[in-house]
A and B are shown apart, each in its own frame.
Chain A
Amino acid sequence: MRLIAAVAEWFDHRLGLAAPIRDAAEHPVPRNTASWFYVFGSAALTIFLLQLATGILLAMVYVPSADEAWSSLQALNHQVAFGWFIRALHGWGSNFMVAVVLLHMVQVFLFGAYKFPRELTWIVGVFLLLTTLGMAFTGQIMRFDQDAYWGLGIGASIASRVPVAGPMIVSMMLGGPIIAGATLSRFFTLHVFVVPGTLIVLVCLHVLMVLKLGINEWPMPGRLVRRATYEREYHALTKSDGAPFVPYAIWKDMFFAAFIILAAAGCAWYFGPFGPTGQPDPTIIQTAPKPDYFFLWMYALLSLLPPSLETPALLIGPVVAIVALLLLPFLSGEGEKSWKRRPIAVLTVLLIAITLGTFTHLAGYAPWSPHMSAWSGDPVPDQMLKGTTALERQGALVFQGKQCRNCHALGESGGERGPSLDSVAVRLTEDQLIRQVIQGGGNMPAYGKNLSPAETTALVAFLKTLHPAAQAPARDASRDVVAGQSLRSTQRDKVAARDGGAEP
């Protein structure tokens, strides 16, 4: 024991770190901040350390070359002992890190912790969020598979829309004229050196400010922040009702950090590593790339925005969002901290959460994407063919053969890009069906060039049968008037025609 003390003393005589470390550990915090709401920041830092450790382990095997990255991932998954687990832990750690950072941000926002004098802590935090997302995006590319390859193409397409500088940004991003070796090396540099380096510096600044300015006290409704008096009040609070951070508050941080790491490890063990999916071979085009979950909302947004709004939204939206986050502590740097008296803050969080959640949910089943194999994979439901004529059945064949099913569902299977056609005959008359099929419109391609008159006749005959049994199909009333016929006689003609009577 005495030996350990002697060695410690030898080091501290030269380093002089013991006193500042003790001061930092034992700095007084308001007693009510020893709360389970105050554990997200330290948990984010712990996961980041996990990411550093697993990242270094992965880099020992991973080969950042477009030619070999994919096979080195396969080796990690199948050849190297526990390679699959380290990959899985790094991937799940990334998901957990994004989630915990977002939770931390919401907590800080709702507890008013960004207000005076912690504005700069918030601003550094905004950059920490951006670097965390940057790590997530560049990390997705390290998993150099089909999704990564086409994801880069999407990134390049977005970047190319920047006015004037677009093409230059694209070649900077790709490191050459196409997505290839130089692109992967570039993103490897970002993922392994540039972004984590920035992240480490920012984390140090962030933690330093938390120590220097003190942790945000538990917000009390009605206790307003004023620049002139706040620091004195906070000081008085930590004097009268303070306790040393270690061990009074830290045990909750430690418990939660351990729980989060365990949760990530549990997911990694149970679900295994992410991909890699198919080889990054651009000649294999049978692929439907999708981003990782934290960018799914963007994937949905890009499908649902009107084309004319897309470029402005893509280029201006993020800038506006980041500027708004950076300006927040200056726009409301004083005043009420408690979320109980900040309804707009609470509603903003709810609105953003619901919006992102809805978009993410939509992106999960992507109703805007054609189902590429529905035409050959999903049969026409039996009951839709019961009692139909030969012409109508021929129409059903045309419907499948011309890939209508890729965008239109019948009996709940098929694409969702266009409306379901289960009761289309109620909505459109025969003439409208013909016009829609031939000319398209309302986001449907025109099929005039691809259907012979016979095929069109058969297809429309089939579509006319698609109505609920108790509901009559739509008909054009003006036609009867023009033809001077009553509905009854028209129907009689039809029955006669169906029975094979050759009535002129």
Chain B
Amino acid sequence: MSNEILLTRRGLFMKLGVLLNGLVGVALAVPFVRYLFASATRASQALPWVQLGGVNQFPEGETRLATFRNPIVMPTDGKTADTACWVRRIDGEQFQVFAVNCAHLGCPVRWFPQAGLFMCPCHGGAYYRDGSRASGPPERGLFEYPFKVENGVLRIQAGELPTPGTSAPSSANAAPGTPATFFKGPAAALTAATKGHRPPCA
């Protein structure tokens, strides 16, 4: 009979105790982690459509500030759920709806109709009227919301803070990182304004 005792009664109970606590820990970790990551793991469903107002509020050829209540809200959000956007009515039912957030670091850009530029107060980014990058640190044009016009009402698909890493480049803008040239800006502006008829000497 060997004197070596491989596992004592006490030792077994301690190991069982560790195992038990481990199991409880794992069981609790599931809801804890799910709770913690709730905002990051919510189902990637399509963003809802938000009403911006009657088409006639937006004169043709002009760019106006519009506001809407973010469709995804919590009861404690207060004013922070109110969002602003720039609405450019090209003509008829042709629109461009830009986020106010600069594509550089998200500061609110302001529209200067006389110069036909959006200017950012933070680091001096500037954009043309069609949202394409004009100058400064942004690597791309302004973020655009998808829009549709139904029964004379302008709607946009919104609900998420647009950031450089989360938003795809919009149709009117060049791919991110494209170096700006002398001709890109006005050419893009002309293209948008003349609906595809490129001027001969762009």
Contacts and interface: CB of A to CB of B under 8 A. Distances in A.
B160 A177 contact: yes
Interface string B105-123: 1111110101111010111
A368 B179 CA distance: 20
A282 B82 contact: yes
B172 interface: no
Most B CB atoms within 10 A — which of A67, A170, A176? A176
Nearest to A369: B124
A162 interface: yes
Given A170-B166, A182-B39, A440-B182, A445 B82 contact: no
B152 interface: no
B65 interface: yes
A307 interface: yes
Interface stretch (B22-30, B49-57, B73-81, B87-95): B73-81
A170 B165 contact: yes
A160 B76 contact: no
Contacts of B165: 157, 159-162, 166-167, 170
B78 A65 contact: yes
Q: Determine the interface band of chain B, counting residues with CB < 8 A from chain A.
A: 35 or more
Nearest to B68: A283
B97 interface: no
Contacts of B73: 180
Contacts of A153: 101, 105-107, 161
Interface in A399-416: 401-404, 406-407
B116 A449 contact: yes
A450 B161 contact: no
Given A441-B182, A449-B186, A370 B193 contact: no
Nearest to A67: B78
A170 B70 contact: no
A310 B114 contact: no
Interface stretch (A5-13, A284-292, A384-392, A462-470): A284-292
A280 B79 contact: yes
B186 A178 contact: no
B135 interface: yes
B177 to A, nearest CB: 7
A172 B116 contact: no
A440 B116 CA distance: 14
28 contacts: A65-B76, A66-B76, A154-B105, A154-B106, A157-B106, A167-B165, A168-B40, A170-B161, A172-B39, A175-B39, A177-B161, A179-B161, A181-B74, A181-B76, A181-B77, A182-B39, A183-B80, A283-B79, A287-B121, A289-B121, A302-B105, A302-B137, A307-B137, A372-B110, A440-B185, A445-B185, A450-B114, A450-B117
What are the 6 A-B residue pairs with the smallest beta carbon separation, nearest first? A160-B165, A67-B78, A445-B134, A153-B106, A166-B165, A160-B163
